[in-house]
Amino acid sequence: MLPIKDNNPTTITPWVTYGLIAVNVVVFLLTMSLAPQSQFQVNLQYGAIPAVLFGNAQLPPQLAVFPPGFEFLSIFSAMFMHGGWMHIGGNMLYLWVFGNNVEDAMGHFRFLVFYLVCGIAAALGHGLLDTTSQIPMIGASGALAGVLGAYFLLFPKARVLVWFFWVFIFYVPAVAVLGLWIGMQFVNLSSGAEQGVAILAHIAGFFAGLALIPFFKYRYIPLWQGGPKQVPVFGVYRPGRKSNATNASPPPWAAAYEAERAARRERMKRAGRGPWGRPGETNMDKSPWGRYQPPKPQPKPGVGVPKVTRLHRGDEPDNT
């Protein structure tokens, strides 16, 4: 189930979301431009290694880029590194769909702090699973999971357009999309289906977002609020028919059709005409089911013998 967009509008321009996506893409492209051996070295230098973070190991001097005692800075550098096109593509798509509304609910600066704090919680949660692991962790998935957790509490009733099984496209409540996502993380963690993926970082980041969103959001922003009622949760849009939902409007892809239809009705109303034209028009519909029929010709007066009226009374009768 791949999210494409949501129907939850924002009141600000999400500059921080755009900036995070841009930085992640630039860092990924720079990393991909290196040779494979250099890419592996960069992952060791800037990735978050649990053994190094918890003081159980140290990088060789030729690989250490952070001063002694500042190895925790690798948590931040690891948030902007990715291991492949699918890795960065999925993360940036989720950040694009869900990040703007969370930023709108708390403001630019607080959203940036929230994003980084969730990334820290995700890295520590992953490291606590094995504090002696020397495998570097990279990716924005942990910080992104915090954004998903915040969206889950803020806008559970918003509609998300998803691409299901690469065939079906329809709207689903956000609580279903994000609930399925976090559920799959627990399934993968228990089954070990995805080896090499920091599943625990996803779970830790998600619950960090759930716990932190009440403290970062604006006070007037309620939790568990709904999005605008635009389309049914599951259903088909029927042009020209009213929906049972209150204040319902057509989906974006049908707005152009409805606007053209309304303009056509307004032109017909101003012209005082119907679908088949106005009475008296020569090019109107002549079919028997047309609304307006051509006027019937008036019958001509009949020609007969004129009546003669006498102008004065006479003795003889009128023989005319």
What's the CATH code of the domain at 135?
Answer: 1.20.1540.10
Give the least confident one: 6-10, 172-176, 250-254. 250-254
Residue 245 lies in a domain: yes
Report pLDDT for 247: 47
Using the predicted structure, report yes or no on whether residue 92 has a pLDDT greater than 60: yes
Using the predicted structure, report yes or no on whether residue 145 has a pLDDT greater than 90: yes
Q: pLDDT-based confidence at 250, cuts 50/70/90? A: low
With beta carbons less than 8 A apart as the criterion, state whether 62 and 118 touch: no
Using the predicted structure, report yes or no on whether residue 270 has a pLDDT greater than 50: yes
Residue 290 lies in a domain: no
Report pLDDT for 234: 41
Using the predicted structure, report yes or no on whether residue 246 has a pLDDT greater than 50: no
Q: Which residue has the higher pLDDT, 253 or 142?
A: 142
Report pLDDT for 167: 67
Mean pLDDT of 6-30: 94
Same domain, 258 and 138: no
Residue 314 lies in a domain: no
Using the predicted structure, report yes or no on whether residue 64 has a pLDDT greater than 80: yes
Q: pLDDT-based confidence at 317, cuts 50/70/90? A: low
Q: State which of 54-68, 145-159, 182-196, 270-284 shows the largest mean pLDDT.
A: 145-159
For 320, residues 6+ apart whose C-beta sits below 8 A from its C-beta are 308
Same domain, 172 and 89: yes
Q: pLDDT-based confidence at 138, cuts 50/70/90? A: very high
For 82, residues 6+ apart whose C-beta sits below 8 A from its C-beta are 24, 27, 28, 31, 88, 91, 138, 139, 140
Q: pLDDT-based confidence at 280, cuts 50/70/90? A: low
Q: pLDDT-based confidence at 171, cuts 50/70/90? A: confident
Same domain, 158 and 244: no
Residue 54 lies in a domain: yes
Residue 305 lies in a domain: no
Provide the domain limits for residue 55.
2-216
Same domain, 139 and 259: no
Residue 317 lies in a domain: no
Same domain, 48 and 72: yes
Same domain, 35 and 137: yes
Residues of the chain with pLDDT > 70, as a percent, come to: 72
Q: pLDDT-based confidence at 194, cuts 50/70/90? A: low
Same domain, 79 and 126: yes
Using the predicted structure, report yes or no on whether residue 187 has a pLDDT greater than 80: yes
* Domain limit, last residue, from 216, 251, 285: 216
Give the least confident one: 1-5, 93-97, 139-143. 1-5
With beta carbons less than 8 A apart as the criterion, state whether 178 and 151 touch: yes
Report pLDDT for 264: 78
Same domain, 168 and 239: no
Rounded Cα distance between 147 and 110, Å, is 12
With beta carbons less than 8 A apart as the criterion, state whether 50 and 23 touch: no
Using the predicted structure, report yes or no on whether residue 236 has a pLDDT greater than 60: no
With beta carbons less than 8 A apart as the criterion, state whether 177 and 90 touch: no
Using the predicted structure, report yes or no on whether residue 190 has a pLDDT greater than 60: yes
CA 114 to centroid of chain Cα atoms: 21
Same domain, 237 and 209: no
Residue 156 lies in a domain: yes
Give the least confident one: 30-34, 103-107, 167-171. 167-171
Same domain, 100 and 241: no
Q: State which of 24-38, 54-68, 156-170 shows the largest mean pLDDT.
A: 24-38
What are the φ and ψ backbone dihedral angles of 302, each rounded to 5 degrees?
-70, 150
Same domain, 135 and 22: yes
Residue 282 lies in a domain: no
Report pLDDT for 103: 96
Same domain, 205 and 152: yes
Q: Which residue has the higher pLDDT, 294 or 32?
A: 32
Please state the domain count of the chain: 2
Report pLDDT for 231: 42
Mean pLDDT of 87-94: 94
